[in-house]
Amino acid sequence: MQITIRQANEQDIDQLQELMIDYIVHFYKQKQPDPNELNKLIHDLQKTTDSIGTQFVASTKDGQLLGFATLYYTFSTLRVQKQIILNDLFVKQSARGQKIGEKLFQKCLTFTRENQFASMVWETDKDNHIAQALYTKMGGHLSEYLHYELS
């Protein structure tokens, strides 16, 4: 199957919402997001100016979306440069095992380098050994920093 990795666009919104709900609700077992808020997030990521980030999608020749990656823009004070946060990398269950995750990750890394960001950082669940193997295979290494969180 031929897969294209490209930036998400307006025609992807409905399928992207479905993929993101699958990711949020079924994969991470979080509550169902407000449809309007999810739609707003997708639109905000597609803005060309003043965007908070961008999304890439894995698409079949006939336009079916099989996965997505979300990048958010931030800044590294230590490096005094822009930085990318790879916040999401998801491939639907039925499409796994076809190296789509690798292709999405590589597109994100290429985007980071071509746009002269200092680095791309990400995190994954301690129990997500499949993702950890992918990230190691792609050249990633564990950071020396610990991640803290408050709700």
Strand partners for 120: 84
What domains are there in the chain, each with its CATH number?
3-137 (3.40.630.30)
Q: Helix (H, G, I), strand (E, B), or coil: what is residue 84?
A: strand
pLDDT tens profile 50-83 = 789 999 999 999 999 999 999 999 999 999 999 9
How far apart CA 119 and CA 133 sit, in angstroms, is 20
How far apart CA 70 and CA 89 sit, in angstroms, is 7
The pLDDT of residue 49 is 74
What are the residues whose beta carbons fall under 8 Å from the beta carbon of 65, sequence distance 6 or more? 12, 15, 16, 19, 57, 58, 59
Q: How many residues does the chain have?
A: 151
Please give the model's pTM, rounded to 2 decimal places.
0.94
67: enclosing H helix or E strand = strand 65-76
- Across the range 30-44, mean pLDDT stands at 95
pLDDT tens profile 81-130 = 999 999 999 999 999 999 999 999 999 999 999 999 999 999 999 999 99
How far apart CA 120 and CA 30 sit, in angstroms, is 25
